[in-house]
């Protein structure tokens, strides 16, 4: 319990720092939404009126504090352009982004875990070196390039998967997933190598442990030893890394959502940045920061599931 309180306090500090920083940064961005809203033929007075209307003429800190006090009561402001409430805009798009990120992480794990285990088991072999080479090739290509290559291959040449377009889950699970495969794969291909190499390194260490020798002395089959005895103790760093990679995942999905035309939080953010829609940018960044900290919190909880030693000491403490 104390642990959770400590985490919450940390969350607050992080949130304060992140929101203040984005507020200041967005403020120094060149460009002014008031001109956009007013249109080309507007007079300087009209623009000034719009500024006043939106509260843009007040000092930065005053605006920040008024925004922050709104956030606590669930009022994240409304888009300067469309008038759509920011919180609603984010929560309606978030499930799409979440699906993309979870799907991407799942694909990354589906690649990383089996290949990492095989690499550790056959460390130094040709297979191990081959997997490593493929992994480094994948990780050295940026996600947007992978995305374009995937579109070329699967949409243009093979014509099996759509290049753009998002179908909501109400149109059927397969229709929904079909549109998600290429975007998720683009992100996963950039992520899996690090997970795979981490698992491999840790598992090589675990396979030297006495308890693995004992499992062999018990006559257990190799696959049983790898999956039942070695995988869980080898996964601790992997889990930490997955928490840290949430940042990459979010960054990746922002770009990928734009490429594939997926209506998620990332695209909302990108469009808001182009339009200098400060309040939306602010809302998205705040939301992403909360999501990041929460994801890492969940990762810490996952340790307890994997490692009984942590579980028990938590009960006592």
Partner 1 sequence: MAMPLLQVIDQRTYFETGRGLLRAVDGVDFELHQGRTLGVVGESGCGKTVLARSIMGLLPSNTRVGEGSRIIFDGRDLGALDEKSLRALRGSEIAMIFQDPMTSLNPVLTVGKQIGETLIRHHGLSRHAARGRAVELLRDVGIPQPEVRVDQYPHQLSGGMRQRVAIAIALSCQPRLLIADEPTTALDVTVQADILDLLRRQQIERDMSMILITHDMGVVAGRSDEVAVMYAGRIVEWAETPELFRNTRMPYTAALLNSIPRVDDPPHRRIDAIAGRPPDLIHPPKGCLFAPRCGHVEQRCRRHSPPLQLASDGTHAQACWFPQSVGTTP
The interface with partner 1 within residues 232-271 (CB under 8 A) comprises 232-233
- CA neighbor of 95 nearest in space, from 105, 103, 85: 103
| Closer Cβ to partner 1, 160 or 314, answer by number | 314
Question: Of the candidates 219, 274, 316, 317, which one interacts with partner 1 according to CB under 8 A?
Answer: 219
Q: Which stretch binds partner 1 (CB under 8 A): 88-96, 209-217, 274-282, 290-298?
A: 209-217
| 229 part of the interface to partner 1, by CB under 8 A | yes
Task: Compute the least distance from the CB of residue 219 to partner 1, in Å.
Answer: 4
Per DSSP, the residues of 212-280 read HHHHHHTT--HHHIIIIIIHHHH-HHHHHHHHHHHHHHHHHHHHHHHHHT--SHHHHHHHHHHTT-HHH
Instruction: List the x/- string, 81-120, binding to partner 1 by CB under 8 A.
Output: ----------------------------------------
- CA neighbor of 249 nearest in space, from 264, 261, 236, 235: 264
**Alpha-carbon gap, residue 200 to 51, rounded angstroms:** 57
Task: Compute the least distance from the CB of residue 77 to partner 1, in Å.
Answer: 48
Task: Compute the least distance from the CB of residue 74 to partner 1, in Å.
Answer: 42
Q: Which stretch binds partner 1 (CB under 8 A): 133-141, 204-212, 251-259, 288-296?
A: 204-212
Cβ neighbors of 183 (< 8 A, separation 6 or more) are 100, 104, 147, 253, 256, 257, 259, 260, 262
Task: Compute the least distance from the CB of residue 7 to partner 1, in Å.
Answer: 24
User: What are the phi and psi torsion angles at 78 (to 5°)?
Assistant: -130, 150
Question: Of the candidates 14, 204, 216, 251, which one interacts with partner 1 according to CB under 8 A?
Answer: 216
| Closer Cβ to partner 1, 47 or 117, answer by number | 117
């Amino acid at each position: 319990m104390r642990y959770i309180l400590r985490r919450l306090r940390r969350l607050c500090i992080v949130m304060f720092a992140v929101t203040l920083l984005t507020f200041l940064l967005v403020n120094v961005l060149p460009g002014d939404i008031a001109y956009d809203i007013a249109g080309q033929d507007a007079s300087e007075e009209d623009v000034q009126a719009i500024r006043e209307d939106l509260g843009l003429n007040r000092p930065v800190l005053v605006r920040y504090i008024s925004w922050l006090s709104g956030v606590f009561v669930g009022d994240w402001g409304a888009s300067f352009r469309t008038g759509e409430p920011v919180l609603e805009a984010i929560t309606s798009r978030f499930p799409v982004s979440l699906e993309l990120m979870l799907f991407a992480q799942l694909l990354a794990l589906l690649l990383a875990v089996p290949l990492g285990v095989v690499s550790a088991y056959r460390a130094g072999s040709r297979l191990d070196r081959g997997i490593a080479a493929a992994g480094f090739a994948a990780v050295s290509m940026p996600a947007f390039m992978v995305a374009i290559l995937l579109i070329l291959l699967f949409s243009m040449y093979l014509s099996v998967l759509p290049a753009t377009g998002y179908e909501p889950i109400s149109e059927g699970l397969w229709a929904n997933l079909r549109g998600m495969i290429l975007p998720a794969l683009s992100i996963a291909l950039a992520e899996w190598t690090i997970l795979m190499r981490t698992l491999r390194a840790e598992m090589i260490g675990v396979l030297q442990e006495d308890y693995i020798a004992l499992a062999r002395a018990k006559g257990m089959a190799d696959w049983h030893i790898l999956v039942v005895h070695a995988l869980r103790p080898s996964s601790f760093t992997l889990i930490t890394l997955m928490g840290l990679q949430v940042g990459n995942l979010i960054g990746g999905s922002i770009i990928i959502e734009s490429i594939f035309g997926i209506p998620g939080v990332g695209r909302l953010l990108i469009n808001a940045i182009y339009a200098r829609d400060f309040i939306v940018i602010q809302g998205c960044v705040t939301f992403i920061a909360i999501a990041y900290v929460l994801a890492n919190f969940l990762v810490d909880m996952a340790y307890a599931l994997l490692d009984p030693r942590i579980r028990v000491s938590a009960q006592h403490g």
